[in-house]
Amino acid sequence: MARRLLTLLAALLLALSLGQPSAQAASFGNPVKAQKGADPWIVHHDGNYYLISTSWTDVITVRKSPTLGGLATAPSVQVWQGDAASRCCNIWAPELHHLNGRWYLYYVAGQNVADYNPTQRSHVLESAGSDPMGPYTYRGQLNSSWMLDPTVATINGQLYLFGSTHNGTQNIVAARMSNPYTVSSSFTTVSTPTYDWERQGGTVNEGPEILQRDGRTFLIYSASGCWTPDYKLGQLALTGSNPASASSWTKKATPVFQRSDGNGVYGPGHNGFFTSPDGKESWIVYHANDSASEGCDNGRTARAQKFTWNSDGSPNLGTPVRLGAGLAGPSGEPSTVSTTYTLTNRNSGKCLEVAGGSSADGANVRQYACNGGANQRWRPEDLGDDTHRLVNVASGKALDTENCSSADGADLRQWSWLDNTCQRFRFLATDGGHVRIVNQATGKVADVADCSTADGADVRQWSWLNNGCQQWRLNPA
């Protein structure tokens, strides 16, 4: 009888647990990216969020985190660098799209000239496999003249490219594509700035983004000058059969997302959309300023919030929330946010650590069997120039190249922060989710001496040899 009662009790407890909601998602506060946060784009794939945004330089970086809140402190990993003079610089508005089993990275880039804006063109990269971190190869230029903010979407079985061009006013255009890197028709204009709220500081329609739900298609776009606090979002609804024809779209007469003086949010725009990990919630990511006097520059930060849907099936984007306000994260994500990382060597499987947990300047950095110790955990702090300082959790000191030497074999150690380039590092994606850790001053990489697999083997800098001893995996810890 006792065994029977225990069995019934266990069954009851199991039934009750199955009826309970999943663990609460980790809370977060905006911004989700404070450095180089303009024109943000987020996708959720295979248990992680991937965030990408305008760099203003010749590189494209991606942040990866299992939680939305974790993106704020995730390392920015470089997945691409301008590879030709015609597309070297001033990279804007990158987006990641998964098509036909590969990732395609659409972006804008121009020449390194004083007046670079007229040279901006749209381009696309293709991943070698199914990892959003690449590696990527260049597939081509998408247009022959000035065009910003490329995005793609499949509508009624046909792939389309949307972008923004100008002919006195800045307009939204569309064209058919035969594959993710080939435009197969001429571009046609689908929206021009006609309402007064689209013409504040400039006659602008840009940043087109397609939003689809329950068989309906919407195009959300940015309107007015991005250098004004009145930059905002407008909406087109697809009411016809041809997405490349203006007559198939119906424009909403009022904006759908705009400044909130009460919440201290100005110029919200150039957005993206993503869904929660469990597919139950709709989210918007966008950039905005903290002051009405701020403009269209690198000071804009990336923010995210949940939105709902109106009874007529259209999106209700709501009001931009105050910076720093506590928000529940997307449903279905983990309940904790990691802000520190371990760095595991690809060849040895061992972790980068400060020897003995020392707090002294000059203490050696080496590899050792991973044990979860604070001396094996690091905070990658973004310095706003595509580099990071790597701060050891145990000591609070930064990874440093000894005496700023440029020689192969120069020791890596810890030192108090001096804010020099010998203490700044870039993460460059390799493959299989690994990175090389590149010193900003020397261009050389963190290397396990002699490819040793032993505990205590020294970690030094060396010229890039493309071997596993020079590659590391960043793991939230």
Tell me the per-residue pLDDT of 329-346, one tens digit each, with 9 for 90 and over: 999 999 988 899 999 999
Would residue 297 show up in a list of annotated catalytic residues for this protein?
Answer: no
Would residue 39 show up in a list of annotated catalytic residues for this protein?
Answer: yes
pLDDT band at residue 6 using 50, 70 and 90 as cut-offs: very low
Backbone angles phi, psi at 363, to 5 degrees: -60, 140
Which residue in the list 39, 131, 333, 382 is annotated as catalytic? 39
**Tokens at 315, concatenated:** 């999106």
Q: Is the pLDDT of residue 468 over 90?
A: yes
The arithmetic mean of pLDDT across residues 359-367, rounded, is: 98
For 373-412, how does the pLDDT look when each residue is reduced to its tens digit (9 = 90+)? Answer: 999 999 999 999 999 999 999 999 999 999 999 999 999 9
- The domains located in the chain, with CATH, are 27-328 (2.115.10.20), 341-476 (2.80.10.50)
Backbone angles phi, psi at 362, to 5 degrees: 90, -5
Backbone angles phi, psi at 135, to 5 degrees: -75, 160
User: Biggest alpha carbon distance in the chain?
Assistant: 87
113-117, 150-154, 316-320: range with lowest mean pLDDT: 113-117
Res 265: pLDDT? 98
For 283-322, how does the pLDDT look when each residue is reduced to its tens digit (9 = 90+)? Answer: 999 999 999 999 999 999 999 999 999 999 999 999 999 9
Which residue in the list 149, 206, 353, 447 is annotated as catalytic? 206
Percent of the chain, pLDDT > 90? Answer: 92
Which of 341, 375, 358 lies closest to 472 in space, CA to CA? Answer: 341
In degrees, to the nearest 5, what angle opens at C-alpha 316 toward C-alphas 107 and 228?
55
Tell me the CA distances in angstroms from 71 to 32, 44, 261, one per residue in order.
Answer: 6, 12, 26
Q: How many CA atoms lie less than 13 Å away from 116 in the CB half-sphere?
A: 20
For 215-226, how does the pLDDT look when each residue is reduced to its tens digit (9 = 90+)? Answer: 999 999 999 999
Q: Is the pLDDT of residue 16 over 50?
A: no
Rounded to an integer, what distance in angstroms lies between the CA atom of residue 423 and that of residue 441? Answer: 8
Res 49: pLDDT? 98
